Amino acid sequence: MGRRRYVARGVPGGYRIWDNRGRRWWGDLYELCPDDLLAELNAQADQARIVELMKRYRARKR
């Protein structure tokens, strides 16, 4: 089994999502990493589901 594509990583001020394939940060900085987003990243890491969750949390910030 290879490396996961997306992982949540702690950074100063919260968490960000790291894209191992693209080798760059993906998405916004979160002060707290939402449980369902973290669970998806640590499980199947379905990109469509991750995008859906990120849009939901981004909308809450506005």
Domain that holds residue 39: 6-61
pLDDT for 23 equals: 92
Residue 28 within a domain:
yes
To the nearest 10°, report the CA torsion of 38, 18, 44, 4.
-130
- What one-character DSSP code corresponds to residue 32? S
pLDDT for 61 equals: 59
Size (the chain), residues: 62
Which helix (H) or strand (E) segment holds residue 16: the answer is: strand 14-19
pLDDT for 2 equals: 60
- pTM for the predicted model, two decimal places: 0.55
What is the chain's pLDDT, residue by residue, as a tens digit (62 residues)?
466 787 878 888 888 888 888 999 988 887 776 778 778 877 777 888 888 888 887 776 54
Residue 1 within a domain:
no
End-to-end CA distance of the chain: 38
**Three-class SS state of 58:** helix
Tally of domains within the chain: 1
